[in-house]
Chains A and B, each alone.
Chain A
Amino acid sequence: MRGNEGKGERGKEERQPTPDSRVSTSRLCASSPRASDYVELHLHTAFSFLDGASLPEEIVGRAADLGYTALAITDHDGLHGAMEFARAARATGIAPITGVELTLTDDSHLTLLAETGAGYRNLCRLITAAYAGPNLPTPRDDEDALSFTPPRPVWKQDEARPPRLDPALLATHAEGVILLTGCRRGALSRLVDAGAWQEARRLLDRYVAWFGVANVAVELQHNLVFGDTNRIAALSRLAEDTGLPTVATGNVHYHRPERHRLQDVLVAIRHRTTLDGCHRGRLPNAQFALRHPAEAAARFAAYPEAIRTSRVLAERCAAFDLTRDLAYLFPRYPTPPGQTPDDVLTDICRAELHRRYDEGDLATASSRLEEELQLIIRHGLSGFFLLYRDLLELAREVSIEVRGVDGYAATLPPGRGRGSSVGSIVCYLIGLSHVDPLAHNLMLGRFINDEMSSIPDIDLDFPREIREQLILRVYERFGADHAALVCAFPTYRLRSAVRDVGKALGIPAADLDRIAKLSEPRQAGDLALELERIPEYAARRHAPPWCHLIDLAKELAGFPRHVSQHSGGMIISSAPLVDLVPVQPAAMEGRYLCQWDKDSCDDAGFIKIDFLALGMLSLVEEALQLIPANGKDPVDLSRIDFTDPAVYDMICSGDTIGTFQIESRAQIQTLLRTQPRCLEDLVVQVAIVRPGPIIGGAVNPYVRQREQARRGVATPPVYDHPFLEPVLRETLGVVLYQEQVLGVSMALAGFSAGQADQLRRAMTRKRSREAMNRLWTQFRDGALARGVDQATAETVFRKLTGFAEYGFPKSHAAAFAVLAYQSSWLKHYYPSEFLCALLNNQPMGFYPPHVLTNDARRHQVRVLPPDFNLSDVKCAVSGNAVRIGLGYVAEVGEDVATRLVADRAANGPFASLADVVRRVPLRIEAAENLVAVGAADNFGLGRREALWQLGLFLPARGFGGKNGKTPGRQLPMPLPVAQDMVELPPMGPWEQMAGDYAMMGLSPRYHPLGLLRPRLPRAIRTTAEIPTIPDGARIQVAGLVVCRQRPGTAKGITFLLLEDEHGLLNVIVFPDLYSEHRHVVRGEPFLVIKGVLQQRNNTINLVAERIWPLSEARSHFQAPTDPGDPSLVTIDVTARQSDDADTGLDHVRQIAPASHNYR
């Protein structure tokens, strides 16, 4: 019936190729097909997020096994995985074809392949346009032609909208693109399915008019889905009628049929439902795997031309190679007439050299400068450095806008360098680094060297608020088409895999929470092991749904979950960036992401500029502003004494909570042993507690050497080979810095600086197996040629590889060490200002806020609760006291707090709680929380009374606006009179503390252990007593767990940091005890621990022998036989205290902040 529709003269005329066709249709019709003719041209990888169920490397590996010689990637609406796919394919000898499956505004799909460079640029622009929608960057006047006309706004302006392309844009972006008509969801398939033959013809005519007859093929897919047979028969007839070729494709969603389960689960996750709940969204069978070419040929036996066409199109697309054909250029630096960027840079550096160095150092500095300038000029990088300098100038402008032109803050630098660039004297002289590389003996080779194959990295740290503005200003400066942020793809790990897969399988949320909480935060593949360790699940793990959870979580490991923003990388391009890679809006308004992560950007040869936000810089700046505001003399941190013994005494005693980089539990433990006494020591300290040196086996030998040297019994460092002595002497024989990776490979294997840098780069990449194999061969051969035996070469190479990506360059450690010292200096001399700035810059650092306030109290800082009349919006400092800000309280937020403070400033102090709610509109949750933490205490009301009064003043939840979430205004009725008031008992300390923790994550007045102490047996010692207890004593302690760590490098040992009202204690839990009490160690907030005290090498640890949750401990301490023994007094924390409402242990658990999750 429908076969005859549309056959007419018009159709015949339109079969003629359009004048711009470059290839005649006869090219698409060759001899009879062979199985090897089939090339897959429609393929999704895991970068079709939550749809594709195989990673690019899995697909490519399978394709190589099946004998494919070419393969296309056509992910949904993006090229996120295209570069990774292309590199992987090239590495296995498969020709990669870059394409995309676009979703149009009518929700239909269309497949596009890049035949040429122009075609690739068009793909990028079309994808960009699909994402841009109403939030599109405005094209600059000097840009050619892409009209970014927004498509129909079928989404709300402010929601994360899915990419949808206005098909009208196809017409102007057809050059170099081959159009395949799409899958079952393609517009053509839909029309054919609906029997709309005429419309289908017209649609094809439109495609031909846009793309040319030689560049359109009717896509045939047969995945053994009901309806496929009839549809491809109809499509084939339609193609014949219109003179277009057909092409067979597989709509591949995974590399092997077994993956269909994971694909089903991904669909469920995408629809935020269970497998049962997404029946219509799931693919109907397991036939969407990459097929053997012979199988594909057999499936399309009735359509041999469709198989041949796939080969013909693949051969045409071979002209464009994504790994080779991108034309990226860094922006040219404009120079005055008659001067080159080399001249400008040289002049600036030489002038600055004389300003920064004394006569005594000038010769050395000058020689280093000339050496660097030569390298920079040889590599043509002068413009690159000058552009960076300009960016810093831009940051300076931003800084003035943010900080103002007056006051101390205006004198602060806008940012500072980190990373290997800190080793460069040029960076130091042009202001990109604040560390003198000569003073710290920093090596240049890691940053720039003779044989450099790629542009060096320059990382800049900025305070958060400056960075935010700077990114926007860079867009303004270069144009949104020329600058974009690098994206990142957060991948599935164990916990996220458990939650998402489990939910899809319909496993109850309570089970998933429990498994996720008790599971180690390692790779998803470890789940079977994890379930085996949890008694409740061990027996069930072989039965559905648990067995599915185990299998699928393992498969899901490493899958990208979504597109996110890299921590600060930005790409700036001289050519429009949207010609090189698609650009999409970031979650944050006004920002744009390029669709490649840092590795793909690196592969593309893009220059990444890192603008990083460093919270500690914001903190330090705020502290420096608080000091004069608190009536003290201003401080210039660049002029403080970096050799102050009092500061090093504090550091050496491990009193570093809140400081930069040296505050963690592991750092404190190491500080106690290494005893740093100068900045150089701190550089080591920053670098040493890193997974790189730990895995590389560097920590213990280094620390031992330090301890022996202090005792005057040092033995010479041991080197794996005498060649290594010059490189590793400085760090006592171990590899601590990335520069030493270079030095070691040069010394042992005779690597050139360029080869050594290649090795370092390969080690820091995610996908570098092949490169590492190649470099190992070079390393071994080089070492053997220098007379080093293979075993030594292997040992050293293994250490270098172990060091891998998680080590710092020395230059970076030096930059961080300066900040570590500065923050320690502030903590020592200005503890109240330091705490105040810490609280105002949360979240940051290692510890939750209550640990910071408890620590500050031990440094004589008073912490005061919020107060309607005394608090500012943020926390504020006065003398040695820090007053918690109104905005710090949950549900209040900065806006409400600002309104309260502004009204107070305008109309005077609040006279009463009634006055507060009359003058300032407050949501009841905000008002209740403020009252609950004591903001109304000074009105002379008990908190309970004040809360009761609030119920009279403010509408209850559900009134005063939609869902009670908008500010409730007082009803127009008189305020309650005195006789309405009731007398209520005051809140007890425990109840107040619980409120504090719930609303602020800290308690200004109480520590839970302080309140529980009278009810604990005297046998439980406090942390204040511990220094007086001898090594080896068996003791019991109780406390709140503020940190739990089970580092992969610690051979199964778990470390707990236990806090009581006096301080902290490090607890070591060995694997056997951990296995026995796993859920207690991992999940309980309050513990009683019995163990052996170790006081060795300046460190104090408790080696746990028994562990109880505080709630259970009392039964172990009850004394049936000798009630007179004071050590056996019952812990009765579940009993009600006379003056307190509830001290039940359930309540104890509730106050434990969420930050006590395992880390």
Chain B
Amino acid sequence: MQIEANPRSGLPRALCERGLWREITRIQDIWHVDDEWWREPINRRYLAVVLSDGTLRTIFHDRVSDRWFAQSY
């Protein structure tokens, strides 16, 4: 997933879904997961974000690969 981040805070301010850029208006929550370091380390920063149309998304930054993903439930 493509993300446009705030250069100062590193927090995302827009995300791209199916080729369409959408503004992130609010970050509701942030949480971290560090796990399975003894196998394939999981080191992720999750964000619950509100898009400009009011819809919610959960996305995460995978710190091992330095890539962003959408979390599907």
User: B38-54: which residues lie under 8 A (CB-CB) from chain A?
Assistant: 38-39, 46
**Is A225 in contact with B31, judged by CB distance below 8 angstroms?**
yes
Q: State whether A285 and B28 are in contact (beta carbons under 8 Å apart), knowing that A226-B46, A261-B37 are contacts in the complex.
A: no
Which of A230, A260, A264, A287 has a CB less than 8 Å from the CB of B29? Answer: A230
Question: B30 within 8 Å of A by Cβ?
Answer: yes
Known: A226-B46, A229-B29, A230-B29. A275 touches B38 (CB 8 A): yes
Q: How far is the CB of B44 from chain A (nearest CB, A)?
A: 9
Asked if B34 is at the interface of the complex by the 8 Å CB criterion, the answer is yes
A548-B36 Cα distance, complex, nearest whole Å:
12
How close is B10's CB to chain A, nearest CB, in angstroms?
Answer: 14
Name the one of A228, A229, A260, A548 contacting B34, with C-beta atoms under 8 angstroms: A260
| Chain B residue at minimal CB-CB distance from A544 | B38
From residue B31, how far is it (CB to closest CB) to chain A in Å?
A: 4
| CA–CA, A544 and B35, complex, Å | 15
Task: Say whether B33 faces chain A, with CB atoms less than 8 Å apart.
Answer: yes
Q: Select one of A224, A506, A545 contacting B30, CB under 8 A.
A: A224
CB of A701 within 8 A of chain B? no
Kindly identify, within residues 255 to 297 of chain A, every residue whose CB is under 8 Å from any CB belonging to chain B.
260-261, 264, 275, 282, 284-287
Closest to A225 in B: B31
A748 within 8 Å of B (CB atoms): no
The interface residues of chain B lying within 8 Å CB-to-CB of A225 are 31-32
Question: Once bound together, how far apart are the Cα atoms of A351 and B29, in whole Å?
Answer: 83
A199-239: contact bitstring with B at CB < 8 Å (1 yes, 0 no)?
00000000000000000000000001111111000000000
Q: Which of A230, A285, A506 contacts B32 (CB 8 A)?
A: A285
Chain B min CB distance to A594 (Å): 38
A1081 at the interface (CB under 8 A from B): no
- B29 contacts A284, CB within 8 Å? no
**CB < 8 Å: which of B32, B38, B46 contacts A286?**
B32
A980→B17 CA distance, assembly (Å): 87
Q: Which of A408-442 contact B (CB under 8 A)?
A: none
Is A229 within 8 A of B30, CB to CB?
A: yes
Contact present for B34 and A286 (CB under 8 Å): yes
- Please measure, in the bound complex, the distance between the C-alpha atom of A287 and the C-alpha atom of B44, giving whole angstroms: 12
CB distance from B63 to the nearest CB of A (A): 11
Q: Hey, which chain B residues are within 8 Å of A264, CB to CB?
A: 37
Interface string of A789-818 (1 = CB under 8 A from B): 000000000000000000000000000000
A228 lies within 8 A of B31 (CB): yes
Give the residues in chain A near B28, CB-CB below 8 Å. Answer: 229
Q: Whole-angstrom distance from the CB of A500 to the nearest CB of chain B?
A: 14
Residues of B within 8 Å of A229, CB to CB, are 28-31
A284 nearest CB neighbor, chain B only = B33
* Set B29, B31, B38, B46: member contacting A505, Cβ < 8 A: B38
Residues of A within 8 A of B37 (CB): 261, 264, 548
Assembled-state Cα–Cα distance A230/B33 (Å): 17
B30 (CB) vs chain A CBs: closest residue:
A224
Looking at B28, B29, B31, B39, the one whose CB has the most chain A CB atoms below 10 A away is B31
Which of A226, A275, A282 meets B31, CB within 8 Å? A226
Give Cα A285 to B37, complex, Å. Answer: 11
CB neighbours of A506 from chain B (8 A): 38
Instruction: Determine if A285 and B38 form an interchain contact, defined as CB atoms under 8 angstroms apart.
Output: no
For A275, give the chain B residue with the smallest CB separation.
B38
User: A224-B32, A284-B33 are known contacts. Are A545 and B38 too (CB-CB below 8 A)?
Assistant: yes
Q: In the complex, how many angstroms separate the beta carbon of B66 from the nearest chain A beta carbon?
A: 18
A229 to B48 CA separation, bound complex (whole angstroms): 11
Q: Is B38 a contact of A224 with CB atoms below 8 Å?
A: no
A889–B14 Cα distance when bound, in Å, is: 78
Min Cβ gap A1145→B in Å is 39
- What residues of B have a CB within 8 angstroms of the CB of A505 in the complex? 38
A-side interface mostly = loop
B33 → A minimal CB distance (Å): 6
Q: Kindly name the residue among A228, A264, A285, A505 whose own CB sees the greatest number of chain B CB atoms within 10 A.
A: A285
Residues on the B chain within 8 Å of A544, using CB: 38-39
CA distance A308 to B26 in the complex (A): 28
Alpha-carbon separation in the docked complex, A284 to B43 (Å): 10
A274 nearest in chain B by CB position: B38
Write out the residue numbers on chain B whose beta carbons fall within 8 Å of the beta carbon of A287.
32
Residues on A with C-beta less than 8 A from B46 are 226
Within 8 Å CB of A275, what residues of B?
Answer: 38
Complex CA–CA separation, A545 to B39 (angstroms): 8
CA–CA, A1046 to B35, complex, Å?
41
| Closest Cβ–Cβ distance, residue A921 to chain B (whole Å) | 51
The distance in angstroms between the C-alpha atoms of A284 and B33, with both chains bound, is 6
- B-facing residues in A537-593 (Cβ within 8 Å): 544-545, 548
Complex Cα spacing A228 to B33, Å: 13
- Of all chain A residues, the one with the shortest Cβ separation from B58 is A226
A residues in contact with B31, CB < 8 Å: 224-229, 284-285
Smallest beta-carbon distance A548→chain B, Å: 6
Chain A residues contacting B38 (CB-CB under 8 Å) are: 261, 275, 505-506, 544-545, 548
Residues of A within 8 A of B33 (CB): 284-285
Closest to B45 in A: A224
CB-based nearest A residue for B40: A544
CA distance A1033 to B34 in the complex (A): 65
Shortest CB distance A803–B (Å): 44
Bits for A980-1017, please: 1 = Cβ < 8 Å to B, else 0. 00000000000000000000000000000000000000
- Set of chain B residues within 8 Å of A282, measured between Cβ atoms: 35
Within the complex, the shortest CB–CB distance from B27 to chain A, in Å, comes to 10
Say how far B62's CB is from chain A's closest CB, in angstroms.
Answer: 14
Q: Give, as a whole number of angstroms, the nearest-CB distance from B61 to chain A.
A: 13
| Distance of A117 Cα from B72 Cα, bound (Å) | 54
Q: Give the Cβ gap from B58 to chain A, nearest Cβ, in Å.
A: 10
Closest to B42 in A: A285
Interface residues of B in 4-39 (CB under 8 A from A): 28-35, 37-39
What residues on A are CB-neighbors of B39 within 8 Å?
A: 544
Q: With the chains together, A225 CA to B31 CA distance in Å?
A: 5
* A285 lies within 8 A of B29 (CB): no
Q: How far is the CB of A507 from chain B (nearest CB, A)?
A: 10
Roughly how many angstroms separate A284 CA and B32 CA in the complex, as a whole number?
Answer: 8
Please indicate the chain B residues that have their CB under 8 angstroms from the CB of A230 in the complex.
29
Nearest CB in chain B: distance from A554 CB, A: 16
Nearest CB of chain B from residue A678's CB, rounded to whole Å: 62
Q: Which residues does chain A contribute within 8 Å of B30, judged by CB atoms?
A: 224, 229
List the A side residues contacting B34 at CB < 8 Å.
260, 284-286
Cβ distance B11 to chain A, nearest Cβ, rounded Å: 13
Cα distance, A224 to B33, chains bound together (Å)? 8
Chain A residues lying within 8 Å of B32, measured Cβ to Cβ, are 224-225, 284-287
CB distance from B50 to the nearest CB of A (A): 14
Of A224, A227, A545, most buried by chain B (CB within 10 Å of CB) is A224
Closest to B29 in A: A229
Bound complex: CA A229 to CA B46 (Å): 13
Of all chain B residues, the one with the shortest Cβ separation from A227 is: B31
How far, in whole Å, are A171 and B29 apart by their CA atoms in the complex? 38
A284: chain B residues within 8 A (beta carbon):
31-35
Tell me which residues across on chain B come within 8 A of A226, comparing CB atoms. Answer: 29, 31, 46
Of chain B, the residue at the smallest CB distance from A228 is: B31
CA gap between A548 and B30 in the complex, in Å = 29
In the complex, A282→B35 CA distance in Å? 9
Residues of A within 8 A of B29 (CB): 226, 229-230
A506–B38 alpha-carbon span in the complex (Å): 10
A260–B32 CA distance with the chains assembled, in angstroms: 13
A223 to chain B: closest residue by CB = B32
Find the B residue at minimum CB distance from A265.
B38
Min CB distance, B24 to chain A, in Å?
16
- Since A224-B30, A225-B31, A287-B32 are in contact, a sample of 9 more A-B pairs with Cβ atoms closer than 8 Å, ordered by chain A residue number, is A224-B32, A226-B46, A229-B30, A230-B29, A261-B37, A285-B35, A286-B34, A505-B38, A544-B38
16 cross-chain CB contacts under 8 A: A224-B30, A224-B31, A224-B32, A225-B31, A225-B32, A229-B28, A229-B29, A229-B31, A230-B29, A261-B38, A275-B38, A284-B31, A284-B34, A285-B35, A287-B32, A548-B38
* CB-based closest 5 A-B pairs: A285-B32, A224-B32, A286-B34, A226-B31, A285-B34
